Structures are given as C-alpha cells and as structure tokens.
C-alpha cells in the first residue's frame, strides 16, 4: 500500500519518542525504489562516482576500514535526477512533519547512496553527536530486490537505554526503511555476503553560522 508522509508521521513520532526507532514500508513506492536502484547502478558503473566512506567530521575525516568498508555517493541537492527529486520531496516533507510532532529542530537534509560489497560491514556506532552541525534523525531506504532472511547484511538496532541489548534485526528488503534518532540509537551493519544497496539520509540541524540581522540588534 502506498503511504504518504502524513499517514506515517504520527506513528513514526510515537515510536521515536518511546524507543527511538521505527521500521516500515510503503513510504517510497516500488516504482520509485526501482528508479533509485538504477540511478545508483548507473553511478556505480562510473567507478569514480562512488568512494570509500570515511569517518569523522570535516578535516578529521579518516578512512577506517576496520570500522566500515562501504562505498558511498552523495546526492547533489542542486542537480537531482527525477527520482532523487521525488525522494527528497517525500523525505523532506516527513522531516517537516516530524519536526512539528517531536519539537526537534531540523533545517537541513543530506543523503548518499551506499554499496556494501561482499564482506562489507559497518561496526556498532552512533550517527550523530551534539555539535553546531548535527545529525538528528537517520533514515535508511533499502534497495535490494529478492533479499533472503538471515543471509547477513542485516541492520542491527540496539536498545536506546541499554546499548548491549538488541532491539531489532532488520533485513534490508527492497522498499523497507529504517528511521532512528541519530544521537542515541547504536546500530551496526552485519557483514554482507552479497552486494547490498541502500540510500541513507540524515535530517539535520545546522546552527546558523552568522546571522546578518545580528548586526542590527
């Protein structure tokens, strides 16, 4: 069933408030997911468009392949393809609704495609820390047709209050999405035996660096 951001916003808000995460389907149509997957494959074919993912913030970004070894390609919000535009529209309208329901300040969105090749993983981590440019909510859309259960490559979501306890093991099935609080939910990608495709987005709060109006106050 096709669901809109408004159909899901209150259910997602309730889950984020009570346990910090939600997993669902139906927000991104199969047609959109297929278009995103071919978009991703098109970029993957042009080798230089995907690079080994790095860890850290700005200048301290380093390549730590013992923590993660996936390949990523950032979406350019200034020149989105048609399907990227549709993805931004849906996800940004969800962000606006969540902002109102949860009273979390958010004013920016960023996203990248990710490919984990066979043997790919991402060790247990948080996505965000409280800084002037902070990730607040992570949303991951899976683009793997015909993914079998218990193959490996699952997303493990840990308990918000007890990060040693597993809350969920999510099979990265086509069209499924996982959404969670970036700064409080530990998660991990189990080693995958086959190519694993996804589109990861972050709803962020970027503190305004210099407010020109401040000069007049």
Binding site for ligand OGA (CB under 6 A): 114, 122, 127, 140, 155, 187, 189, 198, 200
- Is the CB of residue 143 less than 8 Å from the CB of residue 37? yes
Could you tell which of ligand OGA, Ni ion, none binds residue 135, using a CB distance below 5 to 8 A set by kind?
Answer: none
1, 53, 128 from 74: Cα distances, Å = 29, 10, 17
Stretches 53-61, 69-77, 97-105, 121-129: which one binds Ni ion (CB under 5 A)?
A: 121-129
Q: What is the 3-state secondary structure (H, E, C) of the chain?
A: CCCCHHHHHHHHHHHHHHCCEEEEECCCCHHHHHHHHHHHHHHHHCHHHCEECCECCHHHCECCCCCECCEEEECCCCCCCHHHHHHHHHHHHHHHHHHHHHCCCCCEEEEEEEEECCCCCEEEECCCCCCCEEEEEEEEEECECCCCCCCCCCEEEECCCCCCCEEEEECCECCEEEEEECCCCCEEECCCCCCEEEEEEEEEEECCCCCHHHHHC
Position of minimal CB gap to ligand OGA: 155
**How far does CA 137 lie from the centroid of its chain?**
8
Q: Smaller CB distance to Ni ion: residue 83 or 199?
A: 199
Q: How crowded is residue 19: how many other Cβ atoms within 10 Å of its Cβ?
A: 17
Q: Smaller CB distance to ligand OGA: residue 127 or 167?
A: 127
Could you tell me the smallest distance in angstroms from the CB atom of residue 122 to ligand OGA? 5
Position of minimal CB gap to Ni ion: 127
Stretches 12-20, 105-113, 127-135, 162-170: which one binds Ni ion (CB under 5 A)?
A: 127-135
Contact residue for Ni ion among 16, 94, 114, 127 (CB under 5 A): 127
Could you tell which of Ni ion, ligand OGA, none binds residue 200, using a CB distance below 5 to 8 A set by kind?
Answer: ligand OGA
Q: Smaller CB distance to ligand OGA: residue 187 or 204?
A: 187
Q: Smaller CB distance to ligand OGA: residue 2 or 61?
A: 61
Could you tell me the smallest distance in angstroms from the CB atom of residue 178 to Ni ion? 10
Q: What is the size of the binding site for Ni ion (CB under 5 A)?
A: 1
Could you tell me the smallest distance in angstroms from the CB atom of residue 123 to Ni ion? 10
Could you tell me the smallest distance in angstroms from the CB atom of residue 101 to ligand OGA? 24
Residue ranges binding Ni ion (CB under 5 A): 127
């Amino acid at each position: 069933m096709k669901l809109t951001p408004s159909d899901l916003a209150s259910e997602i808000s309730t889950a984020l408030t009570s346990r910090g995460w939600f997993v669902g389907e139906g927000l991104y149509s199969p047609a959109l997911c297929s278009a995103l997957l071919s978009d991703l494959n098109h970029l993957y074919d042009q080798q230089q468009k995907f690079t080994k993912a790095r860890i850290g913030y700005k200048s301290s970004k380093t390549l730590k392949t013992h923590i993660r070894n996936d390949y990523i390609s950032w979406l350019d919000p200034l020149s989105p393809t048609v399907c990227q535009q549709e993805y931004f529209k849906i996800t940004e309208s969800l962000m606006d609704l969540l902002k109102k329901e949860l009273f979390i300040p958010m004013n920016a969105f960023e996203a990248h495609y990710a490919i984990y090749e066979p043997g790919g993983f991402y060790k247990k981590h948080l996505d965000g820390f409280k800084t002037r440019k902070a990730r607040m909510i992570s949303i991951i859309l899976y683009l793997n047709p015909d993914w079998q259960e218990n193959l490996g490559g699952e997303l493990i979501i840990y308990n918000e209050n007890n990060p040693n306890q597993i809350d969920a093991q999510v099979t990265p099935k086509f069209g499924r999405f996982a959404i969670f609080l970036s700064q409080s939910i530990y998660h991990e990608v189990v080693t995958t035996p086959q190519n694993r495709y996804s589109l990861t987005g972050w709803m962020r709060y970027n503190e305004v660096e210099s407010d020109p109006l401040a000069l007049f106050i």
